[in-house]
Amino acid sequence: MYFASALGRQVNIRFTDSFVASHLPQADYDGVILSGLSGDKVCFFGGEKGLDPADPKLADVARVEGNDICVPRNVVAVKAGKPAVDGQPPEPFYATDQALCSWNWQRGGSVGLWTEDCKFESGRWNIAYDKEKDLFGLHVDNGELYPVLRHFRTDPAKGPEGLLPDLKARGLVLDSPECVFEKNEEQFGAPGWTIWQVVPTGKIKEAFDAQVKLEVPPPPCGEVGYAADFIGFFMVHKDHPDRMVFVNLGQDGTMIDPFSLTLF
């Protein structure tokens, strides 16, 4: 299964023999970029790797506007990472940069997940856990943490809405009855998880909808609410209805694999 967190990341793939026979000189391509997902098709950017959309043999799968190729999902498979061991889910199948980054399993408090550790020219980018705030944050060269995953406890009898008073008290959500939780049916999720967002309604939504046509406004419902310019959402597992996790993937990803999330 392809997850949204892998978009824009490098993956290793293998095409079926039948597709190779009519389109390509080989089956395996490593380090290509997962560039799009649409219905039953998946897209890859990899001209320098041999997936050149200008190649006449790839004309029927080329996407000119994206300078990539889009193929049916049933003709390609992503090579998996390391298998699951000792309660850890499998290592993610993608990477921000296969040459500069490595995946590490991290556990903070009662939460575990796969995180990336990257050594770029700008410094070392990695994830650390803040025990006091019960969150994981991204930092550069051990600098200030930028929160990318927050863990919350809530009353399961009240559902996600039961967390709103706490979020408002912390200043993470605008203190307004027009900011409510809404289940997101479109966001990709792992089995057993549901995805939720704090979204605007009423006059707040009207004002946001009008402003977003002219400029990128700040999140209308606060720091952990819906935003026009980054991906953020809450996750709830069917076996842990008393716990919610907010994931911030930013605009280009934040070096965590949210769908490897494991609750202890």
- Dump pLDDT digits (tens) for 14-38: 999 999 999 999 999 999 999 998 8
| pLDDT under 70: residue ranges of the chain | 1-4, 187-188
Rg of the chain on CA atoms, in Å: 20
pLDDT, tens digit, for every residue of 102-147?
Answer: 999 999 999 999 999 999 999 999 999 999 999 999 999 999 999 9
Average pLDDT along the chain: 94
Nearest-angstrom CA–CA distance, 33 and 94: 9
pTM, entire model: 0.89
Quote the CA–CA distance of 94 and 34 in Å, as a whole number.
9
The structural domains of the chain, with segments of one domain joined by +, span 4-78, 99-263
